[in-house]
Chains A and B, each alone.
Chain A
């Protein structure tokens, strides 16, 4: 029991050190934004895929926004991927097709396998351009975003691009405010630090881009994956393609406003991530491929983030067991110092990261909400652990994964 606890604490310490490394790099290190200054170029033709499954509340907003972006009109084609919608999504898309002839080519999918990856895979038959950008229907791209996300593809090593996601409904309630803080930490610090340190920025599957030739080389979209973005990140990495993160390519999104929706969302992310871990983890760390040593280590740690939740729960149980069985983990002053140091610094690493991110964002008062993150943390740790347990159960019973769409809260555009 005691040795199992040692292992768990050691792994937690590695993640703690990683949080501090990223945060300090973001605060004091050199910031890499190599492609953000490309403002004049012979811009390549681009296809923008908009994934839409029952998106009548939001799809008009994104199509309107895309019709006003600053990109040569004759070089940009928008393909709304209407995935088996049963609401007014199709009708709204067709109205836009009429209003903007030649600029929008709808892909109405009536049947087939469920899930975003499956829908994108089918839509690829319409894609002819080397650069593909992907947005979920609840995002609202700004005027310069298409150019910003396209610019990194001038680098022939870049296979994928990821922009920054910013919640637009953050003021709704406690949950949205906590998610706003989490997004800040995840993008402003985590993703940018990975970019700075030439590690593995993660493709998020929205506000993102992918190179067609890279996608073909790695075998296209994986429709068996619950998180096609994580899957894409690792397949690109293993084949020598870089995914780059553009912190200044920001886009508004809508975050869940109710806890059940949030729990469902994070459970899907956890399952998809764990799925990628099982598929690629060992090969990434030890296999023969084009990732560098630092990418192998960071990529493996990134794959393990959702396993840390059940790992931590087991650690807590073991710590209690060790305590009640009277087994001293260490002796005397060393034990006191270790426990005190970990309690004072280790547990706070993720919160420190988020606080630093909020500071970098220049927010004034929202940093006061950081103590409430313990609530979001508690919900996530149990939801993610539950997802891991059910995933193991599904694997044993042979049950299939199914893809749950995240519910929207915006009022439909008139």
Chain B
């Protein structure tokens, strides 16, 4: 072969090999197919009622039909502008007698009821449910999402996949599984062995014995100066002692029974709150947190691994709601959280820890 051709060929091949990886780059630079700014959530704020509010706006289109069904006492079916099928009930108890229930499943239709809705047991509802009154669910049901203008009560062993919002009180019988967001404008009450992820209400009570009214005694606000005690290693506040200021411990921290902290607390490792202790600020652990019975905590409770809360403990107050958050949360019956209870991976209401 002619050496000149070989050299030119080699040069061209080299250039081609160098340019080849840049072809997609030049194509994208010129075509700008992905040149918009990354999507940053500017308007909504992670509000727990976001989906419920959206569904309420969506369902507004059904108001005339709903009103007509309530007046006539009958039911009707139809299709929303987006093609979704719906069933509108004038009388909520009609759902128990619906003719098109097949093999323990409803056809995938959205249900809207003009009055209190009674739902049969052993049924899966794969579309959203709306009730202008309350919702009383049968046992072992599976729901996608529920919005009710009054109370919602789920029968035992039921599950919710996406969200629930009750303008009245929400309660779940034993063994319910709440996978999405559950919110109420009045309160939430979970029976034993219910699992949850994200709950928000003026009060969240575990079991019938939990009494939100008990916290009429306000927990004082953290009125201390912002002095901080910093301690390497483990630390203990003896039982009955009063500690003033913020406390940061790099090791384990034990707060004795009946002790009071007028400030916030952080532990780098395990944090144990013995029965009857009270914290006027926040309670933070970079590991596991065990909160004994009858404790009072005013500020946020955050653990990076797990929180165990025993009976009679109250987090937040009616006037000062707060957040309890950890990947894994286990809560005994009798605990009350005012505000948000948020388990990233798994939350469980248990009879006893």
Which chain A residues have a beta carbon within 8 Å of chain B's beta carbons? 32, 34-35, 37-42, 70, 130, 140, 142-144, 147, 151, 154-157, 166-171, 174, 177, 180, 184, 211-213, 240, 250-252, 290, 361, 363-366, 368-372
Whether a CB of chain A sits under 8 angstroms from the CB of B339 is yes
A363 in complex: contacting residue of B25, B38, B316, CB < 8 Å: B38
CB of B42 within 8 A of CB of A142, answer yes
Residues of B within 8 A of A34 (CB): 284, 286, 302, 304, 325
CB of A213 within 8 A of CB of B228, answer yes
B44 in complex: contacting residue of A144, A211, A252, A370, CB < 8 Å: A144
Residues of chain B from 236 to 256 with CB closer than 8 A to chain A in the complex? 246-248
CB of B44 within 8 A of CB of A42, answer no
In the complex with contacts A39-B340, A252-B40, A368-B28 CB distance below 8 A: yes
Residues of B within 8 A of A38 (CB): 300, 302, 323, 325
CB of B320 within 8 A of CB of A42, answer yes
In the complex, the chain A residue whose C-beta lies closest to that of B337 is A40
CB of B248 within 8 A of CB of A368, answer no
Residues of A within 8 A of B28 (CB): 365-366, 368-369
**A365 to B264 CA separation, bound complex (whole angstroms):** 47
**A326 to B156 CA separation, bound complex (whole angstroms):** 82
Residues of A within 8 A of B180 (CB): none
CB of A156 within 8 A of CB of B35, answer no
CB of B282 within 8 A of CB of A174, answer no
In the complex, the chain A residue whose C-beta lies closest to that of B40 is A250
**A35 to B323 CA separation, bound complex (whole angstroms):** 10
CB of A155 within 8 A of CB of B41, answer no
Residues of B within 8 A of A156 (CB): 228, 246-248, 263-266, 281-282, 284
In the complex, the chain A residue whose C-beta lies closest to that of B298 is A42
CB of A166 within 8 A of CB of B37, answer yes
B46 in complex: contacting residue of A39, A41, A140, A251, CB < 8 Å: A39
- Digitize B9-34: 1 where CB-to-A-CB distance is under 8 Å, 0 elsewhere: 00000000000011011011100111
**A107 to B20 CA separation, bound complex (whole angstroms):** 55
A144 in complex: contacting residue of B29, B36, B46, CB < 8 Å: B46
Residues of B within 8 A of A240 (CB): 230, 248
In the complex with contacts A40-B322, A240-B248, A166-B29 CB distance below 8 A: no
Whether a CB of chain A sits under 8 angstroms from the CB of B348 is no
Residues of chain B from 79 to 136 with CB closer than 8 A to chain A in the complex? none
**A38 to B304 CA separation, bound complex (whole angstroms):** 13
CB of A171 within 8 A of CB of B27, answer no
In the complex with contacts A130-B226, A250-B41, A39-B323 CB distance below 8 A: yes
**A177 to B321 CA separation, bound complex (whole angstroms):** 44
CB of B29 within 8 A of CB of A155, answer no
